[in-house]
Structure 1
Amino acid sequence: MTEQASFSLRGRNPDVLTCIANLSNDEVFTPPEFANRMLDTLAEAWASSHDGANLWADKTVRFLDPCTKSGVFLREIASHLVKGLADEMPDLQARVDHILTRQVFGIGITHLTSLLARRSVYCSKQANGAHSVAKGFDSEAGNIWFERVEHVWVNGKCTFCGASQSALDRGEELETHAYAFIHTNDIKARVSELFGDDMQFDVIIGNPPYQLADGGYGTSAAPIYQLFVEQALELEPRYAVFVTPSRWMAGGKGLDKYRQRMLSDKRMRQIVDYPKLYEGFPGVKIRGGISYFLWDRDYQGPCTVQTIWDGQPTGPAVARYLDSYDILIRRNEAVPILEKVRAKEEPTLDARVSSRKPFGLATNFKGKPTKAGLKKPIQLFENQRTGWIERTTIAVNSAWIDEWKVLMTAVQGTSAAVETKFLSKPIIAEPGTACTETYLVAGHFDDETEAINYAKYLRTRFVRFLVSLRKATQHATRDVYAFVPDLPLNQEWTDAKLYKRYGLTKDEIAFIESQVAEHDSELFDEAVPDEAENE
């Protein structure tokens, strides 16, 4: 073998792995450049913990990608090792055989991706084929394993991943998307079964599938990437490096326990966050952005957090303990602002804001276009319109009907790459009104003046900035208000008053105003706005 022949795919221009289309927004191929950023972070951590040693010059380190798609991580790892081991193992063929048979392992997520990964790593879809760069394999699969795995259905859902039986129990001719790494109660036994009893991985790295249809309303889906991370940590590698959606940091269905675990784990050594839509993975729409983390089994301490925006760090990386709050504060610049607000120990608005369906009516509920013929009509704020219903229709929170109310849309966001408003403009609903699930009742009052002051407060940049810290997606549910102080409403609150109240510096004010745009001059919404696009 010649140096030029080895890993020939890597040397082509353009790199084939930069040109292939993603399987979906849930099974995203990692761009080679992004994979190498993750590997650079890993190599730096290895050197820091090993007296400056070069990870890529160590022939004993074993790597696993448990969710292999394009094979990019394995290919790039192998490429680094080929260079790093050149002095110790000068014979290129012997070096390549050692790396591919003893150091680099993967588990394909589908039959197709296993073939693609083998083509990327071995330069042949058969690891033992005539064109394979490896000469030490007896099997076609080599060290990139794939076999069909079935879901375990109970009451219409998979007991391992929560997938919907109606969506994925569809015959042998189609992929099951029952990923082997997470469809087991004993991951150590599964790995021993696949790769041998003595297999202990030093590094587990990957970009797992993000979610699967769970049988809920419409396009409802449950996240599954956290299951891959949890299984990887059960294997106790020296390092784990994963890229996932960032919504786990502040929200996400079924992610509360995972978030608590990750924030309290002092072995989390580094997080690199890409909050801007499309920046981490160009062309892939992942609400809330993406991030990768480095977990270090032998580390105990604060986690270094770095935000990347338009390709550049937003400031110096900051080491901090992630469990200071119940969610991860993504921007380092926001932490001292929040600390000043929380220092006053004031009650917060999540206790005032209603839960979903404040009057028990779903988003698709429609009233009559006029109140003609209704005995006791009340006006109903609906999805994209107003209607009229009988008062007796309201069985939940009926006492609020005759109060002044401030309504906020339960979904707020746009298709833009950068969110700058975070909350809709408030709607002041007078007595004799109710709303569907499209809205939350952010507050209800006996007095119109208090309602107006409250609506003005919700319009401030200060409030919307605090909301932004907890709002990972378009959903603006009650919990996103949990950092916002519930202040007396006997006065009108402005940003200037609020900045002064909490002693914010010029730099802190400038940061808030760089993140949050002013609403337009119309004080409140009078017409019902279009509901924002769903997840």
Structure 2
Amino acid sequence: MASEVDMIFPIGWQSPKNANNLSKMNKKYIKEDKQIVNIDNLHNVFDGVAGAEWTNIVMWKKDYDNHLSGKQLVYTNGKDPKKVKLVTKKNDVDKPIEITELSQLVKKHFGFEPLQKITSVLKPYGLRTDVPKDPSKYQLPSIQDERFKKDDLELWTGGRGGRKIKYVPKNYPFPRVSEALHSYKVLVPYAWGNWSESAGLGGAYSDIIIAFPNVATTETWQESGNFTSLNIAKKHAKYLMTKFVRALLYVNKFSQHSTTAWGAVPIQDYSEDWWELSISEINEKLFDKYHIPNEIRKFVNDNIQDKNESNIVNFK
């Protein structure tokens, strides 16, 4: 074996996960190996490769001592170096006491139901990110660059080139069909929050999308909600962009992926008149609704990235 090695891995091994063979990497002696010089988390290096939106390059040197006492030096796209402890158990991930107390107060509220109940699984239509480039790879028919018929469905795709809209016939044989296909919903990146703590807890959050009826998506997004009106979808999108929600999302978030992290976020019925207000004003109304003490409000407002209506595609 060479004395210096660069290794490329899916980023998931850094999180305390054991699914999909990650148990082979989720070992203390691996995550605390002092021979790791640094880790660089890179976004969309392998454009179009399924599951490779985030990857990392691990630099390893035989007999090297990084003097980090079990931590690792982690970069994001070659920048913002941080000393990070890669843990093997979720219970070992330290979350700020203010965030855990916020979650406890919210869950005590009468009628609490988690947003996970109205959030789709990963790949709500069974489509990988690279499907538009070569559908035949998955034994699927072609995907169109333009709408040929009035009832064609929109297909939102993502990747290194950014958001794109493709089209498929209304009877396209999706491997899976979401119940929200013909409803209003909000598309949220499954990797929501880039985990760069310089932007705040959870990192920087990308834009979300209000999706109209007859819109499907690749695995780039999860569907949140299943609504009969655009007005309710707009309120839901504003809710997701509050610091209140993203603080609660952080409770169960251990990597960029948010797929199953919505368990501490409460479902809303949007009956209060204040849902017509701005995102920042709604944020404060939510603190009032759940009787959140001032010190927790201040911590959340100081430590979660600011977002506003301009970060919601199709809001206007």
Q: 2:253 aligns with which of 449, 453, 471?
A: 471
Distance 1:440 1:465 in 2: 19
Once the two structures are superposed, what CA deviation does each residue of 1:284-311 show, in whole Å capped at 9, x if it has no partner? 967x932689xxxxxxxxxxxxxxxxxx
Q: What are structure 1's unaligned runs of at least 5 residues?
A: 1-20, 27-156, 164-178, 183-205, 223-240, 246-275, 294-321, 528-535
Task: Give matches, 1:370-389, under 5 Å.
Answer: 370-372=146-148, 374=149, 376-383=151-158, 384-389=163-168
Distance 1:390 1:416, change over 3 A: same
Distance 2:188 2:288 in 1: 26
Aligned-pair identity (%): 20
CA RMSD of aligned residues (A): 4.3
Distance 1:221 1:406, change over 3 A: closer
What's the counterpart of residue 33 of structure 2? 207
Tell me whether 406-415 or 447-456 shows the greater mean CA deviation: 406-415
Residue 486 of structure 1: SS of its match in structure 2? Answer: coil
Deviation at 1:406, TM superposition (A): 1.0
Q: Structure 1 residue 462 and structure 2 residue 254: aligned?
A: no
Q: 1:354 aligns with which of 98, 114, 120?
A: 120
Task: Give matches, 1:51-200, under 5 Å.
Answer: 161=24
Distance 1:335 1:411, change over 3 A: closer
Distance 2:179 2:251 in 1: 33
Letter in 1 for 2:146: T
Q: 2:287 aligns with which of 495, 499, 512?
A: 499
Deviation at 1:356, TM superposition (A): 0.8
Q: Structure 1 residue 290 and structure 2 residue 78: aligned?
A: no
Once the two structures are superposed, what CA deviation does each residue of 1:429-480 show, in whole Å capped at 9, x if it has no partner? 1112111111100111122222111111101110011112222222221x22
Letter in 1 for 2:291: G
Q: How many residues align?
A: 251
Distance 2:177 2:105 in 1: 35
Contact 1:375 1:390 in 2 (8 A): no
Once the two structures are superposed, what CA deviation does each residue of 1:154-175 show, in whole Å capped at 9, x if it has no partner? xxx99x9479xxxxxxxxxxxx
Once the two structures are superposed, what CA deviation does each residue of 1:411-437 show, in whole Å capped at 9, x if it has no partner? 234585524355433311111211111
Contact 1:25 1:284 in 2 (8 A): no
Task: Give matches, 1:339-350, under 5 Å.
Answer: 339-344=104-109, 346-350=112-116
Distance 1:440 1:292 in 2: 27
Distance 1:426 1:453 in 2: 13
What's the counterpart of residue 297 of structure 2? 509
Distance 1:454 1:161, change over 3 A: closer
Residue 168 of structure 2: SS of its match in structure 1? Answer: strand
Q: 2:188 aligns with which of 391, 395, 408?
A: 408
Larger gyration radius, structure 1 or structure 2:
1
Residue 480 of structure 1: SS of its match in structure 2? Answer: coil
Q: Structure 1 residue 450 and structure 2 residue 216: aligned?
A: no
Letter in 2 for 1:459: M
Distance 1:413 1:495, change over 3 A: closer
Deviation at 1:25, TM superposition (A): 7.6
Once the two structures are superposed, what CA deviation does each residue of 1:105-144 show, in whole Å capped at 9, x if it has no partner? xxxxxxxxxxxxxxxxxxxxxxxxxxxxxxxxxxxxxxxx
User: Greater relative contact order (Cα 8 A, min sep 6): structure 1 or 2?
Assistant: 2
Distance 1:470 1:22, change over 3 A: farther
Q: 2:70 aligns with which of 243, 247, 254?
A: 243
Q: Structure 1 residue 331 and structure 2 residue 158: aligned?
A: no
Distance 2:123 2:154 in 1: 16
Distance 1:394 1:452, change over 3 A: farther
Contact 1:358 1:436 in 2 (8 A): yes
Distance 1:162 1:469, change over 3 A: closer
TM-score (norm 2): 0.64
Task: Give matches, 1:384-403, under 5 Å.
Answer: 384-395=163-174, 396-397=176-177, 399-403=179-183
